[in-house]
Amino acid sequence: MTRHDGRTPGTEGERHVQAVLGTADRADRFYQDQMLDHLNPSMREFVARQQMLFIATSDGKGECDSSFRAGPPGFVHTIDEYTVAYPEYRGNGVFASVGNIMENPHIGLMFLDFLHDRIGLHVNGRARIVEDDRIREHVPALPTPEVPGQRALVWVLVHVEEAYIHCRKHIPRLREVGRDEAWGTDDVKSKGGDFFGAKATPSPWALPEPAAHGGRHGGV
């Protein structure tokens, strides 16, 4: 979020909408009372126990992507009040988020606690990609894999520029149910298969079906 002036946060777009809808005073109170440029102790403690993370990135042209990350409590590691790191585990191999960060370092993190406090935390900043072995040389306290397949391929290192609350209004309370995690699996069924039927749906980038060869009745 680009700062509007030297004293308060907010983009030009935000300020315009606030003026049109008459919320500028309310927004200023939020900026002043709830928004920090770092993670205070309560925020760091909150991050340390989260098992879910939503991330937003965009490429060099501004094309956006949102994604979801999960892991055991503490999988997102707070290095200091201005720096957090989260692992990129083995997935589908696309690396859309990492690819975006290579073009555009701006990133938005959203932590939502559905299970206990029913509250959220926004963390906005700039990211860079660091190899697992390299970051561990400087941050030995990074969490280690608990099960096979949980090793980070790379880490996303985020410099915090803004941190602020997401209020609990409308956040549902969920109940945690124990289950086995198939870390690192390539089993299609375990990963959800073709749940949305995309494979059989035409798309502009799908490869054409190979031409059928003639059988015993011949062919064209």
Which CATH number is 113's domain given? 2.30.110.10
2 or 104, which is more confident: 104
pLDDT of 210 reads 63
According to DSSP H, which parts of the chain are helical?
12-21, 24-34, 41-48, 96-103, 132-138, 188-191
Answer whether residue 116 shows pLDDT above 70.
Answer: yes
Q: Is residue 73 part of a domain?
A: yes
pLDDT of 6 reads 56
Q: Is residue 10 part of a domain?
A: no
**Which amino acid is located at 148 in the chain?**
P
**Which amino acid is located at 150 in the chain?**
Q
Q: Is residue 199 part of a domain?
A: no
93: left (phi over 0), alpha (psi -120 to 50) or beta: left
Q: Is residue 108 part of a domain?
A: yes
Helix/strand/coil for 195: coil
Sheet holding 83-88, edge to edge: 64-70, 52-58, 106-113, 119-131, 154-166, 83-88, 77-80
Q: Is residue 180 part of a domain?
A: no
pLDDT of 215 reads 45
Tell me the two tokens of residue 39.
């993670």
Q: Is residue 28 part of a domain?
A: no
Residue 121 structural domain? 36-174
Q: Is residue 47 part of a domain?
A: yes
Q: Is residue 142 part of a domain?
A: yes
Please report which confidence band the pLDDT of residue 208 belongs to, taking 50, 70 and 90 as the band edges: confident
- What is the number of structural domains in the chain? 1
Using one digit for the tens of pLDDT, what is the confidence trace for 41-70?
999 999 999 999 999 999 999 999 999 999
